[in-house]
Structure 1
């Protein structure tokens, strides 16, 4: 089961309608027409047909169409008209259009009534048992997650153990998250500290954070879960993630929400934008995390366990840090790094 699909799919294309902005843009002169109108005003509000540059023919036609210039047949000229009258006429048309659209909007539930009744009568809604139900097909799991993200649009809580997110899923995950957030939903996500060491995951977290999602890292073990609007939760039903349990029992969901909130309070905020940008402070995320934990007094094995890395990888990072700090022993390295972080002299 992948929980990067929290946001679900988009709502689909909306039938094309002419928006108010499009109507206004169509009713307003473009820049060339505006400049021609202003030049007519500078000439006293009248311009002879013979004095109109051939390059302004389209702009002239546009001004006449809008009613900002009125042709005078007797002396072959054009007279400027007060824009206020034109604005009143256009405004009346827009207001009329708005009233018609509002009336049509009121009819939408009625027009979609047969589809709504069919959806409510579908077996996936009426036949599902209360409490907990199990999904064993990956496509079905994905379908349910996407459906929940459409029906429960206010809040998404996700706990994502593991380090790097699957690279192939990140573009679709970002697009779904973007649509979920743009619909007004809020998202909070927990990652393990090892996520800070994977470039694509860091870039993804930086992008969704920019959109409004909040992503923290939690250094203690936690379980995978998705919670939608504090009403329904999806959790693994097998260790390998091949099946999932959909929890709709209010008491159980409330318990899972409480667990998430406690973990959220323990979690650490991350400047994902800085990590993604590769700032000097975070030039080497893996090395920086190893050094931070080493300065806290953790052993090589404890650091490997905390970050989800092999001891060999941690040993390689420590070796590079010893070179940087010219430390002969691990104790001396930790002491010197602690001094570098606190501003106090090292050993």
Structure 2
């Protein structure tokens, strides 16, 4: 159960507290039995040889808070993957709509690619043909081996004068090998930012062609060239770009104590519990949390813990 005690449970618990933290069988009315069972199930009352004794509500609060954070994390993960999962259906719907007045064809022009080789080959060709601007939004962890293999093509794109802007999520900017790859690209002129929010995966080439997933995996994609669709995707990318923070702020390793604070937060512990666990003042822990929030772009403790759930330094 992830809800707090109701009025009847609270009243019976307070009655136990007023009796010195103990309840005896003779203190209970018959109608109190279901309420008593609920309090025992919650851990607010513990059975003893002579009755029941009251336990600290703080432990219950920490446990319920952890359960709620876990449930919310699962919901956020589902929300993160939902747009990609619906993309093939949306494209099929748009393509099936009849032409509008004066139009000779449906509004969305697209090419569906199946298989890793087909997707990678088309992307490699689009990057090779790119002459002005390459925009990329890449949520989730980044495979370092793929980044290493793509480094020569990215550097070649930058050397021929193209601008390159890439969005990552915090989970991608915490592993040292990935940070090294980011540094190599930014050192050559690429702009890379980190956004601690869910966003859609996409690649945009010269503001004329886009590649988006056709499903949850990486083995199918859709290539789009419709101007209205491209404009919509660019608007979404620019909106996310303005809310992101430069990757340079993630390149330095955090302080060891900050790392320990982060690990405990990622486990669902509260600021007060973290302070007690590490033997620090709450003010000191708050300072470390402030640095972590800036690093991960998080607004709340829960958001911070969620962003750090797969982070290498947490």
- 1:29-51 C-alpha deviation (Å, 9 max, x unpaired): xxxxxxxxxxxxxxxxxxxxxxx
Task: Write the distance in 2 (CA, Å) between the matches of 1:134 and 1:285.
Answer: 49
* Residues 235 and 340 of structure 1: CA distance in aligned 2, closer, same or farther (over 3 Å): closer
Task: Write the distance in 1 (CA, Å) between the matches of 2:158 and 2:276.
Answer: 44
In the TM superposition, what is the alpha-carbon distance from 1:252 to its structure 2 partner?
Answer: 0.2
Cα-Cα RMSD? 3.5
In the TM superposition, what is the alpha-carbon distance from 1:285 to its structure 2 partner?
Answer: 11
1:170 aligns with 2:147: yes
- Unmatched tracts of structure 2, length 5 or more: 1-106, 293-314
Q: Which residue of 2 aligns with 1:260?
A: 237
Number of equivalenced pairs = 186
1:141 aligns with 2:119: yes
- Counterparts of 1:221-300 in structure 2 under 5 Å? 221-271=198-248, 274-275=251-252, 278=253, 282-283=254-255, 287=259, 290=262, 300=265
1:160 aligns with 2:160: no
- 1:184-233 C-alpha deviation (Å, 9 max, x unpaired): 11100000011221111111111100000011011110011000000000
1:192 aligns with 2:164: no
- 1:93-115 C-alpha deviation (Å, 9 max, x unpaired): xxxxxxxxxxxxxxxxxxxxxxx
SS of the aligned residue for 1:271 comes to helix
- Unmatched tracts of structure 1, length 5 or more: 1-128, 295-299, 301-310, 342-347
- 1:122-171 C-alpha deviation (Å, 9 max, x unpaired): xxxxxxx97111001211111111111122221000001002x2122122
Equivalent pair of 1:230/1:257 in contact (CA under 8 Å): yes
- Counterparts of 1:60-209 in structure 2 under 5 Å? 131-163=109-141, 165-209=142-186
Equivalent pair of 2:261/2:285 in contact (CA under 8 Å): no
Task: Write the distance in 1 (CA, Å) between the matches of 2:181 and 2:109.
Answer: 34
Greater gyration radius:
1
In the TM superposition, what is the alpha-carbon distance from 1:322 to its structure 2 partner?
Answer: 5.8
Equivalent pair of 2:130/2:157 in contact (CA under 8 Å): no
TM-score (norm 1): 0.47
SS of the aligned residue for 2:200 comes to coil
TM-score (norm 2): 0.52
1:213 aligns with 2:185: no
Task: Write the distance in 1 (CA, Å) between the matches of 2:214 and 2:239.
Answer: 22
Task: Write the distance in 2 (CA, Å) between the matches of 1:256 and 1:335.
Answer: 38
In the TM superposition, what is the alpha-carbon distance from 1:241 to its structure 2 partner?
Answer: 2.4
